[in-house]
Structure 1
Amino acid sequence: MNYIIILIVSAIAQYFLPWWVIAPISFAIGAWKSKTAFGAYIAAAGAMATLWVGYAFFLNSNNEGIMLQKIAGLFSESIKFLKNLPETPTFFIITAIIGSQVAGLSALAGYHFRQLLK
């Protein structure tokens, strides 16, 4: 249930607000609904990885991969080992890691905040 709530609320909020709105949303849902620390982290991390990879795939398919090539070129110039990796999977993996870590750690903090107040 947390997964679906975080996914829907974050998708709506990110349409109007900046990307980091996922942190307070995940914190609030983690504090409100989570039963375990592991469950809070996994639900938020999975929801955000799904949302961000899905949206990145949608944007990439709408512009025929131009966005992906430009972003990959931007990062591969400053991080040399990325030049040897294929662009598409690397882009989606990095997107999933960033989104899932921000949301997962925020939900975990929310869960522990609720435990602190008990």
Structure 2
Amino acid sequence: MNYIIILIISAIAQYFLPWWVIAPISFLIGAWKSASALKAYAAAAGAIATLWLGYATFLNMSNDGIMVQKIGGLFSENLKFLKNMPITPTFLAIMTIIGSQVAGLSATAGYHFKALFK
């Protein structure tokens, strides 16, 4: 249930607010409904990974990959090891990992915050 709640609320909030709104949302849901720290982390990380990967794939397909190519080109100029890697999967993987870690750690912090007051 936490997965679905975080997914829906984050999707709506990110339409109007900046990307980091996933942290307070995950924190609050982790503090409110999570049964354990592992379940809090897994639900939040999975929800945001699904949301960001799905939305980024939709955006990438809707503009024929131009966005990812341009953003990847910005980073591959300074980071030489990225020149030999395919840009689209690398970009999507890095973006998904960052989002899922922020959300997962925030939900875990929320669970532990709740545990302080038990």
TM bucket (normalised to shorter chain) is over 0.9
What letter matches 1:49 in structure 2?
Answer: A
The AA in structure 2 aligned to 1:102 is: V
Please, what is the CA RMSD of the aligned residues?
0.6
Give the counterpart letter for 2:95 in structure 1: T
- The residue that corresponds to 1:75 in the other structure is 75
Aligned to 2:5: 5
Shift of 1:27: 0.1
Query: Residues 1-118 of structure 1 correspond to what in structure 2 (within 5 A)?
Result: 1-118=1-118
* Separation (CA, whole Å) in 1 of partners of 2:75 and 2:6: 29
Q: CA deviation at 1:10?
A: 0.1
Query: How far 1:26 sits from its partner (Å)?
Result: 0.1
2-side partners of 1:103 and 1:41: how far apart? 8
Instruction: Give the distance between the partners of 1:107 and 1:37, measured in 2 at CA.
Output: 8
Q: Structure 2 unaligned runs (5+)?
A: none
What is the aligned length?
Answer: 118
**Counterpart residue identity of residue 86, structure 2:** P
* One-letter identity of the residue aligned with 1:15: Y
1:80 & 1:48 partners in 2: Cα distance? 29
Q: Percent identity?
A: 77
Where structure 1 has 5 or more consecutive residues not aligned to the other structure, the ranges are none
4+ long deviations beyond 2 Å = none
Following superposition, the deviation at residue 77 of structure 1 comes to 1.1
